[in-house]
Structure 1
Amino acid sequence: MKISCVFSTNVFRQVLAAVATSLYGISAGIVFAYSAVLLPQLKDDDRIDYDAKYDTWIASISTLTMAFGCFVAGPFIDRYGRRIGLILLAIPFVFSWLIMGLGSNIYLLLLGRAVAGICAGLFRTMSIVYLSEVTDPKHRSMMLISISLSLNIGILVSHSAGTYLYWRTASYVFCIPNILPVIILVYLKESPLWLITKGKIQDGTDFFYWFRAKSDVADRELSAAICKQKHKSQDLNVKETIKVVFSRPFMVPFSICFLVFTQTQFCGTNVFNFYAPDLIKQTFSNNVDNFLIMVLIDFIRVCGTGSIFFTVKHVPRRFLYCLCSIVTTFCILFLAAYLYYQSSNLLWFGMTSLVMYIYFSITFMSIGWSFISEMFPSSVRGLGSASTASTSFLLLFIAVKMTPSVIDAFGMEVYYIICACITAVCTIILYFVLPETNGKTLQEIEHDFIKDKCNKELSNEQTKF
């Protein structure tokens, strides 16, 4: 009974860490989707000078600054800590929504969107690194998927609440999810693995077992982390960092993640967050209720991520990723075929294809994000996660900025075909290079990319423990 109680307490603390990051995830999801409800309201708002030429910038500027936020987050949390970074994140996040709520012109709205984008980028890197380091390997996949689940809930909240609330009022309401995580994070501890990399072995050990129940697996993971620390300096200088960045253990995971995010951002699903009403209208003309379909898409996103959340612990992630990618490719082609024939009798076919497209694409996208914090060396895990997340948002910026021009020039059919081709090519390559990480410790995953000299001493360290 005592062991069960202790185990439950440890798991509860890991769940609290997931809840704290998920609350930030809801706010980040709101940032993603806010332009879809903001732009229609701005067109009819006499209290602000509106110019349609800024539409694509209002939609896309947050994705551009997300890339900057990701890049800044890595070095910051590597130096000052994962938990402190998440606590401080609340300040600029709330500030961004206040700028938008109080903004009297387009330029202040752009500034608010830009700051919100930086915060969303900071959140992505900080949350995945913190969760990956405080959670048990057998729970880690679910905890990491919870970030994507909360982000999709935020998208649903943004489209639903933003449609019924005046956009300024909505901006004030959206401050709330950024305040609650701080209360939880004050109670939680710093990442034990980060403390160990800084040479704070005793604190790291104490916090490790504060989050994790004592077990053979936990003991081995802690031993490997401490052993690895003995073979590197506490802080990498510029020369050492460059050497690590251009080493195989860094470049291989980065290349894999680049392919994952190329597929993720150019399959087209994320673009729906920013231009949902327009894309739905251009796909189905006036045959459907655009708002109803937009909310349906958001609900499907939540269901898709939710289903992965409950199954990823039992089914290999690599298998799920490849399977969902293949199905997504066919669904996009089905949408292109529906547009080609343009028959009202085939509305059911088009709607079914859209539902399946959103469901399966959001599943492989959620799985893709869960990989990035696991594959990099511990010494540059923050930098590695930041650089790949930053690259992802740069790709999303390109997709969001270019999509209206591509559709205007070539039409929706060609747009869907392009998305299908990119998804198919990336799927084929990733089938051969994407690793399986389910149930492995972070040290085991890292050792899969390079044979670590620490392995020779690991058994001795475990004996000491």
Structure 2
Amino acid sequence: MATKQDIEREKVNLAEPFIEREKDTEVKSSSDNGDLGMVFLSTFVAVCGSFEFGSCMGYSSPAQFGIMEDLNLSYSKYSVFGSIVTIGAMIGAITSGRIADFAGRKGNMKMSSIVCIVGWFAIYIASSDLLLDFGRFLTGFGIGNLSYVVPVYIAEITPKNLRGALATTNQLFITVGIAVAYLIGAFVSWRTLALTGIVPSLVMLIGLFFIPESPRWLAMVGRQKEFEAELRSLRGAGADISQEQTEIQDSIEMLRQIPEVRILDLFNRRNNRYVTIGVGLMVFQQFIGINGIIYYAGQIFVSAGVSPNVGGILYSSLQVVLTAFGATLMDKAGRKLLFLISVSGMLLGNLLIGISFILKEHHLAFDIAPTLAFVGVMVYIGSFSVGVGPVPWVIMSEIFPINVKGTAGSLVTLVNWFGSWVVSYSFFYLFTWSSWGVFFLYAAVCVMAILFTIALVPETKGRTLEEIQASIDN
């Protein structure tokens, strides 16, 4: 029988939008993992949803000027289009857990891919802002679900010693999707770009017919024969699955004995510091301005006198490289230190962009201003990719006690998407108010994030979950 500690390490991934980074660094032989071909295929199909996520997030910037010209949209109406994706995503995030528990992980991914396909097609045929916004809302709902179910599915099918590595492919493929959207958007119309957004969802939809359902979900709903068959298909016909099978069943049984936690329970004296750290990190992650800059990077480059196509391709490619690099540093530099370095880089990036627009507004240093804006965006995006992007999600998987993780996950995901909506919707209004002031405002948020992290956020590297939670309680 598995120990209580073993079961807790396993069961955190059953129905929550956060992935616990694997603490066990013991290297197992290939025979322990069995045949990994199906695991890799299943992961590839799942991260097509992550690619779809990135395609959707990256679409609005390269498509902006074409849509505004063809449909005669004002900046205000385009702000609605750019930000309504987050409204759909918030609803998707709220419902994703229940859909995944009712219809299964594959069922959720199938539904999400179909909704995304319909949404992209609505954008493609749109002749008015009403249908355009409706399509954008649908794609938002789809990726809101995918943002939950893809990492959960990957965690539930992956052997222990590969879980951390394969879990990082979710964030990596999001950045790849953004980069591809910028690259293709530089050469095709906004309608054609919308059609390319259908591709990852279509690949996922077809691929789901060839991969297994999550064995953990099958065990959770009592489908014992299918549970054993799908676990064996993931581990290989000759693999010994008896120990893993027993551990999964034990973890399911212990989960059923834990009382359900309501949303109000998160704010009692016992849990409020966990919630403060978790929600605080997500608030700062968004209100530093990342989605405003990503959604409207084209306008920033144009206003600064830099080609939006060249700038978009370069910075989205940089994002892919540095996201992969940041994953290698997570367990070496530590979460807290990496986050602080990342926020400091974003502070510098915001200051450089703001200074460039001050120079432009006062007709000074015409040769220097565009360079400052370009360098500022690169420093900003690169810094975000290394730490502020991935670190809050990793810390979330570590600080919450096991009995509140599911409820806390829904709250934190909702806060994240709500912050994304506020920033993406307000960016143009702030930019109109002051082309340089908006970036100094984001820089001020960076300073607050640094102070918050130093004062409240624990370093979680190399600690057990019990040690992390004890350090927060003290």
Q: Which of 20, 30, 33 in structure 1 is aligned with 2:58?
A: 33
Q: Match of 2:118?
A: 95
Match of 1:294 among 307, 312, 316: 312
The SS at the match of 2:257 is coil
The answer on 1:229 being equivalent to 2:261 is: no
CA shift, 1:41, in A, is 1.0
> Taking every aligned residue pair, what percent have the same amino acid on both sides?
19
Matched, 1:4 2:24: no
Distance in 1 between the 2:231 and 2:40 partners? 15
Change (3 A) 1:168 1:289: closer
Q: 1:251 to 1:179 in 2, by over 3 A?
A: farther
SS in 2 for 1:164: coil
Provide the residue aligned with 1:445 in structure 2. Answer: 465
Change (3 A) 1:339 1:41: closer
TM-score by length of 2: 0.79
CA contact (8 A) 1:27 1:154 kept: yes
User: Shift of the alpha carbon at 1:49?
Assistant: 5.8
The aligned residue for residue 325 of structure 2 is 307
Q: 2:290 is matched with which residue: 250, 262, 269? A: 269
Residue in structure 1 matched with residue 415 of structure 2 by the alignment: 391
> Number of matched residues?
435
Contact 1:152–1:298, Cα closer than 8 Å, also in 2: yes
Aligned counterpart in structure 2 of residue 164 of structure 1, from 157, 177, 187: 187
> CA separation in 2, counterparts of 1:197 and 1:429?
39
Q: Greater CA deviation, 414-423 or 209-218? A: 209-218
Structure 1's 142 and 429: CA in aligned 2 closer, same or farther, altered over 3 A?
A: farther
**Distance of 2:268 and 2:253 partners within structure 1:** 21
Deviation (angstroms), 1:19: 2.0
How far off its partner does 1:71 sit? Answer: 0.8
Q: Trace 1:50-449 onto structure 2 (pairs within 5 A).
A: 50=73, 52-136=75-159, 138-195=161-218, 197-198=220-221, 222=248, 225-226=251-252, 228-229=254-255, 231-232=257-258, 236=260, 241-242=262-263, 245-246=266-267, 251-282=272-303, 284=304, 286=305, 288-312=306-330, 314-341=332-359, 342-344=364-366, 346-347=368-369, 348-364=371-387, 365-373=389-397, 376=400, 381-412=405-436, 414-435=437-458, 445=465, 448-449=468-469
1:345–1:243 Cα change, 3 Å:
closer
Which whole-Å deviations, capped at 9, do the CAs of 1:202-233 have from their partners, x for residues lacking one? Answer: 86677667657879997996487256236237
1:136 CA displacement: 4.5
In the TM superposition, residue 117 of structure 1 has moved relative to its aligned partner by: 0.9
Question: Which SS does the other structure have where 2:33 is aligned?
Answer: helix
Task: State whether residues 326 and 386 of structure 2, in contact with CA within 8 Å, keep that contact through their aligned partners in structure 1.
Answer: yes
Per the alignment, do residues 398 and 182 of structure 1 end up closer, same or farther by CA in structure 2, a change over 3 Å counting? same
Query: 1:161: Cα distance to partner?
Result: 1.6
| Partner Cα distance (2:266, 2:212) in 1 | 29
Q: CA deviation at 1:381?
A: 4.7
Residues 20 and 184, structure 1, Cα contact 8 Å, conserved in 2 = yes
TM-score (norm 1): 0.80
5+ residue gaps, structure 2, are 1-27
Give the match's secondary structure for 1:9. Answer: coil
CA offset at residue 53 of structure 1?
4.1
SS in 2 for 1:44: helix
How many Å apart are 1:124 and its aligned residue? 0.6
Counterparts of 2:451 and 2:243 in 1: how far apart (Å)? 34
Q: 1:226 to 1:206 in 2, by over 3 A?
A: farther
Shift in Å, 1:429: 1.9
**Which amino acid in the other structure matches residue 300 of structure 2?**
L
| Contact 2:399 2:468 (8 Å CA) reproduced | no
Residues in 2 aligned to 1:198 and 1:253: alpha-carbon distance in whole angstroms: 30
* CA-based RMSD: 3.6
Change over 3 Å in CA distance of 1:329–1:199 after alignment to 2: farther
Q: Structure 1 stretch 86-95 or stretch 130-139: which is displaced more?
A: 130-139
Q: Are the aligned partners of 2:112 and 2:143 in contact in 1 as well (CA < 8 Å)?
A: no
> Residues 109 and 146 of structure 2 are in contact (CA less than 8 Å); yes or no, is this contact kept in structure 1?
yes
Letter in 2 for 1:22: V
Matched residue type, 2:365: S
Q: 1:392 to 1:229 in 2, by over 3 A?
A: closer
Q: Distance in 1 between matches of 2:350 and 2:380?
A: 6
Where does structure 1 lack aligned partners over 5 or more consecutive residues?
Answer: 452-465
> Compared with structure 1, are the counterparts of its residues 430 and 77 closer, same or farther at alpha carbon in structure 2 (3 Å cutoff)?
farther
In the TM superposition, residue 122 of structure 1 has moved relative to its aligned partner by 0.9
- The one-letter code of the counterpart of 2:314 is L
